[in-house]
Chains A and B, each alone.
Chain A
């Protein structure tokens, strides 16, 4: 796996709270057996109703860092949500906080989902709105967000940071190493042995 130490790119601002995964990818697009093609439907219902939605604005079309609010990705566990954002072009998210299943999905897909203060998010939002071409770097080694001559702190739980920066976020490879220990552990769990 590739080590993910930093992400640099332009941003797309979506500084709203409690964005749920039904909004990120409405359920009707989950009628599929692969994740291909989900990118174009990201936020589709919000976009239909809001002609000014950032995902439709030309200046944000090449953005790779999404700026969100509080409790981003709440609701359904659908991995289709981060998969659709990735396919749209998102490589990192900066938000005030995340729902846990969404956060776990992002990490396992190699998308850093870092937290920043409301003040930082508001500053980034204003900067990006007025200068959409401004490149921003999310640095996971220093846990800083660099935006021109401004620098902000961000946070990421250490286990996610370690997994991303050491390229071990594909947990499957690690889990597979323990097959014999898994079987040994299972033998100690009463219901695995039918309460024998």
Chain B
């Protein structure tokens, strides 16, 4: 095989069934994840046409978006949420699909559960009716968010029609400063390339910074590819990937695992791999980053001030002006010291055990500021269980955080966890869109989980680096 092929092209080619008359490829899908929000209409489409699920064992369902995080006993207090639960249970049962329901100890955010169970593997094509499916690219898979019609296509045919994107390599070498996390890197990339910089592209993240990352950090980076406009993002599989997958419930076992590992590693883009574009950044330029506006690209390093409207290109000024108005911020103000009302640690971006461990280090021995409502929502029931075993729940609750059940929660506020009025939330989630966190005038500052922890303790946006070595009083 030609060694000029990058991972994306190798995996795409392997899964191409044919090229359709429209010019799009009919792409075979290896893993289809579904949840309660974007699947019910797809099952209705199947019923309307009298279709079955072609490979039911290749679809796995869980519930995450609407599940309450305080009391998960059924029926849910929200009748609409309860209807959605009933629908996914009925659909999975009727079409022969495994469902990890709230009673199942493996339930959680779909993008946390897939990797945790070993369902997500290198070389796969993975889709889900959820834009943050890009998370699974951390394993060296092509992982795409899709719409509900496409969910129906994949259920019925295990394929979908898709145009082939170009591939851009995002190369980051060098040393990261202390306190700089995967979240800061992804926010930095989006800031530099813009929210539509990735349109038409798949992103390959490569270089020393990503090589050194744990799988969970890689997931955080790939998760937010979509916020930069990219169709998906991935990191080449390496020994870290193989080690993560060994022994997971859905990983191959024994000789099959060895064979799988060899194949996974063979998929990585080699030194001669070609890309449609390469963009390079220096790790040393990245500092803890916080969004201040209404798109994920509107961010600053923690030590910066908010640049005045006039400093932006003319065609961006309308949006920047609207961001200042909506966020109630002033030009030239520092972001550090900005008082917050709510702190949220959770979401498919940053709710894994390593996120909770790092945040707990900041929180330990300190207390949440009196005026701040702070909550931790683990990404899955297994993350929650692990955290409890390590005593992290106690660290958080002792400090004044609420400790919740697993789900998407206040990332998009489809469940009862919502901002009120124009509350300002320091959030480890992925979107700072207007109204995203459940109040039409609610305001979101995206940052890493350690930065959220620091903001919760101090009651205002803070530089976590100043707390890492300081002894709590």
Stretch at the interface among A94-102, A136-144, A146-154: A94-102
A101 B146 Cβ-Cβ under 8 A: yes
Residue B260 is within 8 A (CB to CB) of chain A in the complex: yes
A18 B44 Cβ-Cβ under 8 A: no
Residue B256 is within 8 A (CB to CB) of chain A in the complex: yes
A99 B17 Cβ-Cβ under 8 A: no
Report A162 CB to chain B, min CB distance, Å: 5
A182 B147 Cβ-Cβ under 8 A: no
Size of A's binding interface in residues, CB under 8 A: 66
Report A126 CB to chain B, min CB distance, Å: 15
Q: List CB contacts (< 8 Å) of B335-364 with chain A.
A: none
Q: List CB contacts (< 8 Å) of A86-108 with chain B.
A: 97-101, 104-105, 108
A105 to B80, CA, bound (A): 25
A32 B319 Cβ-Cβ under 8 A: no
Residue B457 is within 8 A (CB to CB) of chain A in the complex: no
A191 B121 Cβ-Cβ under 8 A: yes
B22 A189 Cβ-Cβ under 8 A: no
Residue B78 is within 8 A (CB to CB) of chain A in the complex: yes
Within 8 Å by CB of B22, from A26, A46, A162, lies: A162
User: Which residue of A has the minimal Cβ distance to B46?
Assistant: A172
User: Which residue of A has the minimal Cβ distance to B255?
Assistant: A195
Contact partners of B147 in chain A: CB under 8 A: 77-79, 82, 101, 104-105, 108
A75 to B225, CA, bound (A): 11
Contact partners of A80 in chain B: CB under 8 A: 148
A78 B38 Cβ-Cβ under 8 A: yes
Contact partners of A74 in chain B: CB under 8 A: 195-196, 229, 295
Report B379 CB to chain A, min CB distance, Å: 18
Stretch at the interface among B213-221, B369-377, B381-389, B432-440: B432-440
Residue A135 is within 8 A (CB to CB) of chain B in the complex: no
Given A18-B195, A75-B431, residue A175 in contact with residue B159 (CB < 8 A): yes
User: Which residue of B has the minimal Cβ distance to A173?
Assistant: B49
Q: List CB contacts (< 8 Å) of A1-42 with chain B.
A: 16-18, 20, 22-23, 26-28, 30-35
Within 8 Å by CB of A195, from B66, B146, B156, B259, lies: B259
B431 A100 Cβ-Cβ under 8 A: no
B153 A175 Cβ-Cβ under 8 A: yes
- The proximity string for A residues 62-85 relative to B, scoring 1 for CB distances below 8 Å and 0 otherwise, is 000000001100111111101000
B84 A22 Cβ-Cβ under 8 A: no
A31 B78 Cβ-Cβ under 8 A: yes
Contact partners of B163 in chain A: CB under 8 A: 157, 159
What are 17 residue pairs bridging A and B, where the CB atoms are less than 8 Å apart in the complex?
A16-B318, A22-B435, A26-B435, A27-B438, A28-B413, A30-B37, A31-B66, A31-B84, A45-B435, A79-B38, A82-B147, A159-B163, A162-B21, A171-B22, A176-B157, A178-B18, A186-B55
